[in-house]
Copies of this chain bind each other. A is one copy, B any other.
């Protein structure tokens, strides 16, 4: 029988959200412990109370990624429009919780964070399997790469946000292309 939490750990989620936001907006380099603590409205000491080091923050962020991704894979498999069309539409930046962790994780993979790279590779495989079931094994990769290209462009063109409008217009062209590839 433990002494029950005295107060709710409000700072914990705030820190994680701040870490995610900084990764998205400015990349790994800008996501220093100080910057994260400041954005979260928490002292640096408070941050380190919850996460003994930066690696621990990353680990919990990757857990969040796994959780949200599992949900999305279910939705993708069950999508009435088909997994491929669902995938393309969801590849455009929409500021959903999944989009946010995914981009944050990409920022970590970019700087060669090994564990993150491993997880991301697993994600790609999961997507590919569902795409293959929808459009066939030979056209699965073309579709996968189209979606990835969408993400890639959104991220390069000054982080996600600005370019949303421009890219959103491309989605229909991509969905049309996917229909043409199907079979």
Q: A: which residues have CB within 8 A of B?
A: 25-30, 106-107, 109-112, 114, 117, 120-121, 124, 138-139, 141-142, 144-153, 155-159, 170, 173-174, 176-177, 180-181
Contacts and interface: CB of A to CB of B under 8 A. Distances in A.
7 contacts: A109-B156, A110-B156, A142-B173, A145-B152, A146-B146, A146-B149, A147-B149
A156 B113 CA distance: 10
A109 B180 CA distance: 33
A156 B117 contact: yes
Contact of A149 (B111, B120, B148, B157): B148
B112 A110 contact: no
A138 B179 CA distance: 14
The complex is assembled from copies of this chain, and their number is: 2
Given A145-B146, A146-B149, 15 more contacts: A26-B112, A30-B111, A107-B110, A117-B158, A120-B156, A124-B157, A138-B176, A141-B170, A145-B148, A145-B170, A145-B174, A148-B148, A148-B152, A177-B181, A180-B181
A110 B106 CA distance: 10
A25 B124 CA distance: 21
Nearest to A25: B112
Nearest to A150: B145
Given A139-B177, A152-B148, A29 B28 contact: yes
B106 A138 contact: no
A173 B141 contact: yes
A173 B112 CA distance: 28
A132 to B, nearest CB: 11
Contacts of A148: 145, 148-149, 152-153
A110 B154 CA distance: 11
